[in-house]
Amino acid sequence: GDQVEQSPSALSLHEGTGSALRCNFTTTMRAVQWFQQNSRGSLINLFYLASGTKENGRLKSTFNSKESYSTLHIRDAQLEDSGTYFCAAAGGGSNAKLTFGKGTKLSVKS
């Protein structure tokens, strides 16, 4: 099965509301990275975490390696937050390979 399970696959929010996206890992991961893919297809780096929590504006992400999950919280959603959000995780070893989840497609409506 997939090593990185991302949920939900799709999410619709009204402007000003918030929600959480989640990634569960079926094997031990050492770090996680979150991306937003915008309407042009570009992958924008949001967070890189080897542990703990990071916050940037309306976004907050947590990575718990022991319990094998990571979350991305979006608050006060804006129209420009629409896009597809991916988590990608790195397992042990030195090759720094990332395994991607299948993404969460977020639509923010006015």
Closest CA to 45 of 54, 109, 19: 54
User: In degrees, to the nearest 5, what angle opens at C-alpha 39 toward C-alphas 46 and 101?
Assistant: 50
- Taking the complex as a whole, the smallest distance from the CB of residue 101 to other proteins amounts, in Å, to 6
The answer to whether residue 43 forms part of the interface with other proteins (CB under 8 A) is yes
Out of 42, 51, 53, 78, the residue judged to bind other proteins by CB under 8 A:
42
Using CB under 8 A, which of the segments 11-19, 51-59, 73-81, 99-107 binds other proteins?
A: 99-107
Place of tokens 């918030």: 18
The answer to whether residue 83 forms part of the interface with other proteins (CB under 8 A) is no
